[in-house]
Amino acid sequence: MVMHRTIRSALAAAVVLAALAGCASSAAASPAGDWGTVTAGRPSLTIESDGSWHGNDGCNAMKGDGKISGADFTFGPFASTLMACEGVTPWLNLAVTAKVDGQSLIVYRGDGTKIGSLPRR
């Protein structure tokens, strides 16, 4: 009888750990979160769980709405300031889609061309 309780307890613990591991991996694969380095001249982005986002292309402040689907993110219409910054390539303003790949958010143009990546903060 004691052996059956021990086995049941061990199985219950394994089920709980598996469930927790599944939650952690799905959260890590979501685009929701903070991406990039918050430093002048470097792009950064925060994507909220509802798809709204805000960030900076390294020069200009940006914000908009988008859609999260698993590890993918689709940028919707957005607003941006229009400052000129010498030595900054504002590639983030060309973003149409993005996908989480490990601890990076890979950003793509509308034609599927990769234009950059942002590390998870």
- What's the pTM value of the predicted model, to 2 decimals? 0.75
- Give residue 71's pLDDT: 98
User: Cα(58)–Cα(27) distance, rounded to whole angstroms?
Assistant: 27
- Give residue 47's pLDDT: 98
pLDDT tens, the chain, 121 aa long: 554 454 444 444 443 334 444 444 445 699 999 999 988 889 999 999 999 999 999 999 999 999 999 999 999 999 999 998 898 888 998 999 999 999 999 999 999 999 999 999 9
User: Cα(51)–Cα(82) distance, rounded to whole angstroms?
Assistant: 23
